[in-house]
Chain A
Amino acid sequence: MAFDSFSAFLAMGGHGPYVWACYAMFFLLMGVVIWWSLRQRRVVIAQQQRRAAPMPSADERPTASFTRIESSQD
């Protein structure tokens, strides 16, 4: 044990802010990366589940008629 007390541990001999800022940033960013990666995975899985519903195949693709849509303009 390199420290006499918990407060000495927190103070780090006056270098506390520097040390803790580094560790905070490290865990924060690693946490964000991990959270983001997990979220991305959930999003992709949800996406693929939606896509599992079959797309219209080329046969049943609607054909273009190019008829004008009549809408009255007052």
Chain B
Amino acid sequence: MWQIFHKLGSPKWFFGIASTLMPWLLVAGAALLMTGIVWGLVFAPQDYLQGNSYRIIFIHVPSAFLAQSVYIMMAVAALVTLVWRMKLADVFVTAVAPVGAVLTFLALFTGAVWGKPTWGTWWIWDARLTSMLILLFLYFGVMALGAAISDEKSSARAVAVLVLVGVVNIPIIKYSVEWWNTLHQPATFKLTEKPSMPAEMWVPLLLSVLGLYLIFGWLACLRMQTHILAREGRTRWVKELVQARGN
């Protein structure tokens, strides 16, 4: 058991696996995402309430979905870092945070642009938008702390503590923002997810969510490999690998 765990944690082993996995992730992810988007943009029927503006959903929902699950993944990795000191876990946290921040920003941006034709305003202090904004702040905090500590290992551990503190706070933040929202404005702008979304709409949506997940997986592998190369520069296998690339 421990052997497997340590093997899983070995950067060299991961590097190899990632290298074989990455082309598949990229090709499958891009194919799924493009299928989902083209289907959603061109073939899916118009929404009878919102018209064509709803087509933003095919990127908005995947971004928002990933933005949140990336933070959860980071929190799991952070826990593994602090408890078992697995090398790969802390590489994951630092490598992936900027991607999470970009996805959160995209979710906010597409949400705002979607809001203009739907609600007539770019921004409302709606519970979902507000908690997404705070999630973006959390990502910024993680990135800022990571950048401020020069030593990679201490940086990773400090970031892990922060991510965990953040993840404990996320449900509290979400709950309090919702409560605050009901206090301040009665639910006039409630965007209800229509329970019966026709299959022509949710299938492409599902495809693009899956596609973006895979693309994220590819990006995560790529960025983790970069961080490993930077960090393990002294080991023989990295030296050989780097030399091989140079020639």
A→B interface (CB under 8 Å): 1-3, 9, 12-16, 18-19, 21-23, 25-26, 29-30, 32-34, 37-38, 40-41, 44-45, 47-49, 51-52
- Smallest CB gap from B225: residue in A: A41
Q: Which residues of A contact B245 (CB under 8 A)?
A: 45, 49
* Contact between A33 and B243, CB atoms less than 8 A apart: no
In the bound assembly, the distance between CA atoms of A45 and B56 in angstroms comes to 38
Q: In the complex, what residues of A have CB within 8 A of residue B44's CB?
A: 2
29 A-B pairs whose Cβ atoms sit less than 8 Å apart in the complex: A12-B52, A14-B52, A15-B51, A15-B53, A18-B116, A19-B53, A21-B113, A22-B56, A22-B109, A23-B56, A25-B110, A26-B110, A29-B105, A29-B106, A30-B106, A33-B98, A33-B219, A34-B219, A37-B223, A40-B223, A41-B225, A41-B226, A44-B230, A45-B242, A48-B230, A48-B239, A48-B242, A49-B242, A49-B245
Would you call the interface of chain B mostly helix, strand, loop, or mixed? helix
Interface size of B by CB at 8 A reads 41
Chain A residues with CB below 8 A from B230, complex form: 44, 47-48
- Please judge, given known A-B contacts A2-B45, A12-B52, A22-B60, whether A45 and B229 are in contact too, CB under 8 Å: yes
Contacts of B116 in A (CB 8 A): 18
Residues of B in contact with A (beta carbons under 8 Å apart): 37, 41-46, 51-53, 55-56, 59-60, 63, 98-99, 102, 105-106, 109-110, 113-114, 116-117, 215, 219, 222-223, 225-226, 229-230, 233, 238-239, 242-243, 245-246
Q: Which of B42, B46, B63, B226 has the most CB of A within 10 A?
A: B226
Distance (whole angstroms) from the CB of A65 to the closest CB of chain B: 31
